Amino acid sequence: MRPLLEVLQGLGAPRVLVVGDLILDRYLTGVVERISPEAPIQVLRVESETERIGGAGAVAVYLAVLGARPVLVGLLGEDAAARRVTELARAQGVDLRAAAEAGRRTSVKTRHLARSHSTAQQVLRVDEETVDGVGPAARARLEGLLTEALGTAELVLVNDYGKGLLAPDLLAWLLRAARARGLPVLVDPYKGSEFSRYRGATGLTPNRPEAEAATGVAVADLAGAEAAATRLIEALDLDFALVTLDREGMWLKSRGAPGLHLPTTPREVFDVTGAGDMVLAVLGLALAAGAGLAEAAALANVAAGLEVERVGAVPIRRDEIAARLALAGDARRAKLVGREEVAALAARHRAAGRRIVFTNGCFDLLHAGHVRYLAAARAEGEVLVVGVNDDAGVARLKGPERPLNTLGDRLEVLAALACVDHLVVFSEDTPAALIADLAPDVLVKGADWREKGVVGRDLVEARGGRVVLVDLFEGRSTTGLVDRIRGR
């Protein structure tokens, strides 16, 4: 398998057909400060409202943001929600070709989220929809739209949410039509459906409960995942099955080949909404661009990990996947962030509602004063980003005999501290440019900077952020240690 960064860089812009149920996702976010006097329920004071395309539309949006050329075919009603879905698709660069059916209610999911200081959690979801089958006029229109779209597609993604569009007869027609053109078809199945309807697809991407329900095999461990995936391949005439295993990552099984475990990395899970759609989008994009199946699944695993760190179904960009891939490896690399990745890193944490804290220094000889200082900085928020002067910068600031420890050694020691979340190296004499890119919520410096003036204070406070000065641990300093070692 090639390095995943190389695979990611070669994805190009394939044309992918997405077929499935269209949903308008609404998010009402606010705070809960009291219980209603009318009933024992929370009162959500709404502060913001956002709308996104859900269902198969989310897959198409993910593809567009990732650089593909998605064509989206689905079914809508003739109502305000349908018009809003159309507007959102156009704004996101998705080529939407939807059949309209009079009397059908476009699916709308409204999620109510209560925000705390760190993130927002769902407290209620309200669904408005029609899930009846498709009428003959709309069915004929859909077949025409699909026939036209299949003529230019390089791969087909089917996203089944059980809203009535993908009835067994229409799905069978689509699978035959795609196979006649030599197009792979990947299906994200609906949990409540009879999986025999997906017979003849190229690949299936069920999650653990879906695989268990469809096969009767308990997927409690990797052996169970192998058994369930094998049964799906045999029963449905698939080329492969990719079973997503939440905290355990994924299990990829190809016909006639050993299974492959794609482990996940420890991460904070805020919301699993959209994770399955992200897997389908990245898997389809990579396969359409010519990547190998294992390469495509590995990229999808990384992207799904990024998705669950966000609240709601939020698109992931290629540069964000590249940044996560660059962090894979040992403890130092797992926390080291390139300067070009800082803005994407900040956006990811900010989307998850986390307060970003920044501080900087040389950290030449790490001592107890440093450790206490960094722990105090971390306590000011949910994420601590530490800027570290490179070797040339330390020499300019401290003199030609410094640093005593090279940059690589300094990063490795800092990375071992649990309170440090990310490390960024900078070569300038001050971290002003880095602070501008990161836009932290809190800027922390030692109390000795009170009279000298804190670099970046104006940038942080202009955004409504805070500057915190931490008292130093008396008698601990790198200069003092150096003098003692040298007998001064």
Which residues are catalytically annotated? 277
Phi, then psi, of 376 in degrees rounded to 5 = -65, -40
> How many CB atoms are closer than 10 A to CB 424?
22
Based on its alpha-carbon atoms, the radius of gyration of the chain, rounded to whole angstroms, reads 26
Alpha-carbon distance values, 216 to 87, 101, 227, 452 (Å): 42, 37, 10, 69
Tokens at 45, concatenated: 């004071």
- CA-CA-CA-CA dihedral for 397, 403, 406, 412, to nearest 10: -80
Phi, then psi, of 146 in degrees rounded to 5 = -70, -40
> How many CB atoms are closer than 10 A to CB 401?
9
Tell how strand 383-389 and strand 22-35 pair up.
unpaired
Given a contact cutoff of 8 angstroms between Cβ atoms, the answer to whether 20 and 74 are in contact is yes
Q: Strand runs (DSSP E) across 196-305, as ranges?
A: 203-204, 240-244, 250-254, 260-262
Alpha-carbon distance values, 368 to 374, 375, 481 (Å): 10, 11, 12
Phi, then psi, of 91 in degrees rounded to 5 = -65, -30
Residues 6+ apart with CB under 8 A from 204: 186, 187, 189, 195, 198, 232, 236, 238, 240, 241, 242
Residue 15's DSSP bridge partners are 69
Diameter of the chain measured on Cα atoms: 92
DSSP secondary structure, 163-193, as one string: SSSS-HHHHHHHHHHHHHTT--EEEE--TTS
Residue 336's DSSP bridge partners are 423
Alpha-carbon distance values, 123 to 31, 112, 126, 269, 390 (Å): 11, 6, 10, 16, 46
Amino acid identity, position 232:
L
Enter the DSSP assignment of 477.
-
3-state DSSP assignment of residue 236: helix
Tokens at 206, concatenated: 């069920």
